[in-house]
Amino acid sequence: MSGLKARINAGETVIGSFVKTPVPHVVEILGLAGLDFAVPDQEHAPLDLGAMDQLALASRAAGLPLVARCWGAVAGADFAAAGSGLRGVMVPHVADRGTAEAVMAAVKFGRGSRGLSPSPRAGRYGTLAAPDYTAKSDAETVVMLQIEDKEALERLDDIAAVPDIDVLFVGPADLSQSLGCGFPSAELDAAIIRVIAAARRAGVAAGLFVGDESQIAAWRERGVSVFVCGSDQGLLMKGARRIIEAGRA
């Protein structure tokens, strides 16, 4: 099954990584490595609009879908969906249905309030007719809402019930901070399992950040199908440390 959104909605396991370095070569390399997608991290990295545009170009060259983690819920989602050629958005700190609805209004033309122009890259610089552009965008854009606040845990069914959401994605570091528990801890695991259950009830995918690939199998067994594993910085650090440790052994 082709297309990131189609694969996610079919329940396939897809694995990506955060991108924190504002150079397009990283996206090309991750694409050649075989990742299913990558997440440019505007929330925690110096990725401005120009850098995002270059990463989007690289993603097309590498055939690697990009899902941008936005710096702010609604405004960030609006930019990320605005036509640069990204395949979707990951929105931090969605703690209630109202925020989820606002995100969807910013991303989906079908909601009637997203600004319309086929002139950007995603509209083939004006060569794609407006009805075709809006239909294609709404059909292919992935929306991942991050569950990172203890308040969100009491509103999971309301959030997940918003139409066209693809993934309830747990940010475990922020969620543990909000809960006041350890990362990792049994309390955090229980909260993640609550999100997985809510996603299953709503018929959407559950997603999770993991720091290491060794954690994927266990969480896949529990029902997670969308994983973001580490980051480009982490991969570089891990590889460099492995070299120096082996060389000094």
Neighbouring-strand partners of residue 170: 147, 208
Neighbour-count burial of 163, counting CB atoms closer than 10 A to its CB (0-12 exposed, 13-18 middle, 19+ buried): exposed
Asked if residue 75 has pLDDT above 60, the reply is no
Q: What percent of the chain has pLDDT over 70?
A: 94
Query: Tens digits of per-residue pLDDT, 21-43?
Result: 999 999 999 999 999 999 999 99
Q: What percent of the chain has pLDDT over 90?
A: 86
pTM of the model: 0.95
**Which CATH number belongs to the domain containing residue 70 in this structure?**
3.20.20.60
- Residue of higher predicted confidence among 29 and 83: 29
Residue 128: the pLDDT is: 94
Average pLDDT of 94-100?
96
Task: Identify the domain containing residue 91 by its residue range.
Answer: 4-248
Number of separate domains in the chain: 1
Q: Which residues lie below 8 Å from residue 237, measured CB to CB, with a gap of 6+?
A: none
Per-residue confidence band for 62, with pLDDT thresholds at 50, 70 and 90: very high
Query: Tens digits of per-residue pLDDT, 175-188?
Result: 999 999 999 999 99
Average pLDDT of 224-234?
98
Asked if residue 114 has pLDDT above 90, the reply is no
